[in-house]
Structure 1
Amino acid sequence: MTKNRLEAFSDGVLAIVITIMVLELRRPEGHSWADLLQLWPVLLSYLISFVFVGIYWTNHHHLMHTVQRVSGGVLWANLHLLFWLSLLPFVTDWAGESHFAPVPMMVYAADALLCALAYSLLVRTIIRTDHNNHLLQDAIGSDLKGNLSLVGYVVALLTPLLGQVGVMVSGGCLILVALMWLIPDRRIERAIEGTGRP
């Protein structure tokens, strides 16, 4: 089974996720800068989620360069990732509209954590599917960046229990994880360049 349909479907779902998120944005009630500034929580949650989807799209793109064989397990692991990513418009809207209230922030962080776990499962499934392809395993290594992300998401999930200060810590953790991944992760690119594969 080839990876072309999996890539095309994944790209389509992520494009729809971004489209739904932008369609959820509502224009200000008035026509002044002050009216626009009142929407800062909605715009901030959209920005963070847009970056979040972009990070997953770029990493998924690199990940697919390592895939030589797609199994049913890979297809289901990919769908599992897309399921959690497809909830982003809902959690983004709720977090922004609530002005980052504790429960919506916990739900947002929970979705972020589940996306990260699903991506990790997809990587492990791809590695198990093709035992002769060591490219991905060698590129991922101990996956310090991925493990730090999981810790950040767990902290972001639990800290809103502490009230408003915890909500700020939660938001800070989510932003820090996103910033950590904005620095291009070249592990897979370097591994592919080392093999001479396109």
Structure 2
Amino acid sequence: MSTEPFMETSRLEAFYDAIIAIIVTVLVLELPQPAAPTLAAIWALRTSYFAYLISFLVCANLWQYHHIIYNHVEKINTRIIWLNILLMLIFSLIPYLTTFVANNPNSFIPQALYGLDFIIVDIILYIMAKSLLKINEENKDNIIDAFSIRDALYIPLAIFILGFIIAILGYPIAISICCLITILRSIVSSLRA
């Protein structure tokens, strides 16, 4: 029998909520102002708005996914806390990478780093899901339903890989488009549930 101390999830959830709120705030503060109060000046910033939209939806989706998971989890341990800290470390790069992509929409490196951030977040979520299942055995069935690992990890990973292949073939913006497709797919899937 394990003597590992378990903790409740409330403080972790509050921390997570605060970090997501900060990331969303930084995202909107990073949006450039139009050079003039005209529609043409606003249209000139369309790549910034597109990158912001994707990143905002990613934040909302990750927050929702985290909320759904922790609705079924009763206890966590130090490993889960550190996985969440690692998740937030990687995820907190979103505002920086959003600006990088917005300023260089047709460059492979910014797009690749943006997509790689998403992939690493998915991998951390997968590891966290497996760890949560181990320590919450009594609630395993509900947790497995909430995780939906195929929908949450495998399908997005396949879409990201497709985006990378298209980007390597000469269309770097394919990575951002694949990120958007993944997020919209996830939102539609959660609304059906």
Same fold (TM over 0.5): yes
Structure 1 contact 106–156 (Cα < 8 Å) conserved? no
Matches within 5 A, 1:117-196: 117-134=123-140, 135-140=142-147, 143-163=150-170, 166-185=171-190
**Structure-1 residue corresponding to 2:75:** 69
Structure 1 contact 103–160 (Cα < 8 Å) conserved? no
**Structure-2 residue corresponding to 1:18:** 24
Q: Distance in 2 between matches of 1:38 and 1:49?
A: 19
Structure 2 alignment gaps of length 5 or more = 1-6
1:44 aligns with 2:50: yes
Structure 1 contact 77–125 (Cα < 8 Å) conserved? no
Q: Which moved more, 1:5-14 or 1:178-187?
A: 178-187
Three-state SS of the structure 2 residue aligned to 1:185 is: helix
Q: Distance in 1 between matches of 2:32 and 2:148?
A: 43
Structure 1 contact 106–158 (Cα < 8 Å) conserved? no
Structure 2 contact 101–110 (Cα < 8 Å) conserved? yes
Task: Give TM-score, length-normalised by structure 2.
Answer: 0.89
Q: Distance in 2 between matches of 1:41 and 1:152?
A: 21
Structure 1 contact 102–160 (Cα < 8 Å) conserved? yes
Q: Distance in 2 between matches of 1:34 and 1:141?
A: 44
Structure 2 contact 47–105 (Cα < 8 Å) conserved? yes
Flag the 1:14–1:100 CA change in 2: closer, same or farther, 3 A. farther
Using the TM superposition, give the Cα deviation of residue 112 of structure 1 relative to its aligned residue in structure 2, in angstroms.
Answer: 0.9
Q: Distance in 2 between matches of 1:130 and 1:57?
A: 21
Structure 1 alignment gaps of length 5 or more = 191-198
1:97 aligns with 2:103: yes
1:33 alignment partner, one of 36, 39, 42? 39
Using the TM superposition, give the Cα deviation of residue 130 of structure 1 relative to its aligned residue in structure 2, in angstroms.
Answer: 2.2
Provide the aligned C-alpha RMSD in A.
1.9
Identity fraction in percent = 24
Flag the 1:7–1:162 CA change in 2: closer, same or farther, 3 A. same
Three-state SS of the structure 2 residue aligned to 1:25 is: coil
The aligned amino acid for 1:162 is L
Task: Give TM-score, length-normalised by structure 1.
Answer: 0.86
Q: Distance in 1 between matches of 2:146 and 2:18?
A: 26
Three-state SS of the structure 2 residue aligned to 1:143 is: helix
Structure 1 contact 107–157 (Cα < 8 Å) conserved? no
Three-state SS of the structure 1 residue aligned to 2:74 is: coil
